[in-house]
Amino acid sequence: MSLMNNLSTSMISSSSSTFLAPTSFNSRTQSVSVPLKSINIVKCVATPQEQQNAYKTKVSRNANIAKLQAGYLFPEVARRRAAHLLKYPNAQVISLGIGDTTEPIPDVITSAMAKRSHALSTLEGYSGYGAEQGEKALRAALASTFYRNLGIEDDDIFVSDGAKCDISRLQVVFGSNVTMAVQDPSYPAYVDSSVIMGQTRQFQKDVEKYGNIEYMRCTPENGFFPVLSKVARTDIIFFCSPNNPTGAAATREQLTRLVKFAKDNGSIIVYDSAYAMYMSDDNPRSIFEIPGAKEVAIETASFSKYAGFTGVRLGWTVIPKQLLFSDGFPVAKDFNRIVCTCFNGASNIAQAGGLACLSSEGLEAMQEVIGFYKENTKIIVETFNSLGFKVYGGKNAPYVWVHFPGRSSWDVFSEILEKTHIVTTPGSGFGPGGEGFIRVSAFGHRENVLEACRRFKQLYN
């Protein structure tokens, strides 16, 4: 474990965030990747006989977890990066793989968290357990900032420790007897949580899919929006816009068709809007901008890529009162029960930061950071365009989706890592529809992004 920590602290990583285009944002820390000082070599030794005959309980392993293929995508990318550094201990590795933000959180936000933190040292300012659903002031600010005039009320919003965590809590609400549809390609947490809950059959190696999941193919040919007439009816539809990994953003007309499709089939849409503030086009930033969506949709969102809260952890989920199960019971009431059972509420310090994010100064600061990452995206897009690649995304999201036709995504990932010391993400890790693509993240210090683009040009010119 100490070896992995030494590796991770020696490398630069990159990631994502909200509205607006390029600005003159300057990060306070403009560090470039540096070589590792030292690497400890771990030697394999024979396992003692007593360990080989270790005591085993009589508890069976969860068969659903056993269905999962290899490791979760991003830990697997990190594992391969670590192996690369063992091979090249002096390499200056640049990470444009996992979507982890790199620029400092604006001071207007951290100051509010520091103030709340220090207040906990006083009798007047101390607070213990809070409401599991989130502090009233923050829920009200979220409603007025992101859902004004959309019919979403404060108590429709559940504050959490991040959208990824809420995805799993929603799966617990749905249970094991539902059917699931996902965009292909899509964020792997949707599929993996479905597998763990027992909603799927075994993995089918020949087609790289799990049985009982409907994979809605999203390609350049269909504008990265599924052909709904070819999609089978499912109970739950996971949909992310702007999309991770393709960067595609659904238009108002497309989302109107999606809501109608869900309504005709009696399905529930789980709409992931984690990158909505990166939107440059005049596309909906919330599913609730579409008439009728409150009767068929849930929306998850996060401060991770808006304010650099990937480590702070703060997000929210919106479940309108109009959303009902087939027996007429409100979905929000069951989600509330799961939240109260499995969660003690988001950190009060993080919530103070969230409230500061939604002040006029906080919104302006977040837009500056987002603009900085969007400028990174523009640099990456222009680089691959100049090299003759087909490039998608980048305009409405901090991800660039680059096509390598006829090639294995993992092979391209390995080629880039081996020859340039740059970490990307293989497209096939997001589903079979991602084969032949790599995702390049725009999260990174400007110097690192510029250096990475220089290395891309050196490799592919």
CA-to-CA distance for 161 and 69, rounded, in angstroms? 26
The structure's pTM equals 0.87
Round to whole Å and give the CA distance between 267 and 239. 12
The CATH number of the domain where 243 resides is what?
3.40.640.10
Virtual CA dihedral for 61, 67, 70, 74, nearest 10 degrees? -100
Report the C-alpha gap between 346 and 130 in whole angstroms: 8
The residues, ordered by sequence, that sit 6+ positions from 395 with a Cβ below 8 Å of its Cβ are 247, 249, 280, 281, 377
Domain coverage including residue 405: 2-46+87-105+363-460
Q: How many CA atoms lie within 13 A of 458 on its CB side?
A: 11
Do residues 99 and 206 both lie within one domain? no
**Cα 432 to chain centroid, rounded:** 18
d(CA 345, CA 208): 37
Q: Is the pLDDT reported for residue 299 higher than 50?
A: yes
* Pairing state between β 297-302 and 268-272: parallel
Q: Hey, what amino acid is at 235?
A: D
Helix, strand or coil, per DSSP, at residue 26: coil
* pLDDT exceeds cutoff 90 at 26: no
- 158 neighbors 166 (Cβ within 8 angstroms): yes
Distance CA 345, CA 353 (A): 15
Q: Pick from 339, 360, 381: which residue ends a domain?
A: 360
pLDDT at position 46 over 90: no
Establish if 63 belongs to a structural domain.
no
| Same domain? 354 vs 379 | no
Mean pLDDT of the residues in the chain: 91
* Same-domain status, 456 and 402: yes
Picking from 360, 376, 396, the residue at the C-terminal end of a domain is 360
| Range in 40-54, 225-239, 376-390 the model is least confident about | 40-54
Predicted pLDDT of residue 20: 37
pLDDT, one tens digit per residue, over 245-280 is 999 999 999 999 999 999 999 999 999 999 999 999
| End-to-end alpha carbon distance in the chain | 39
pLDDT (tens digit per residue) in 67-83? 998 777 888 898 999 99
The verdict on residue 186 lying in a domain is yes
pLDDT tens digit sequence for 315-347: 999 999 999 999 999 999 999 999 999 999 999
> Do the beta carbons of residue 272 and residue 236 sit within 8 Å?
no
Range 223-242 average pLDDT: 98
Asked whether residue 356 falls in the same domain as residue 403, the answer is no
Question: Are 351 and 159 a contacting pair, CB within 8 Å?
Answer: yes
Which secondary-structure segment (H or E) carries 364? helix 360-386
Give the Cβ contact number of residue 207 at 10 Å. Answer: 10
What pLDDT, on a 0 to 100 scale, did the predictor assign at position 72?
76
For position 26, which CATH number holds? 3.90.1150.10
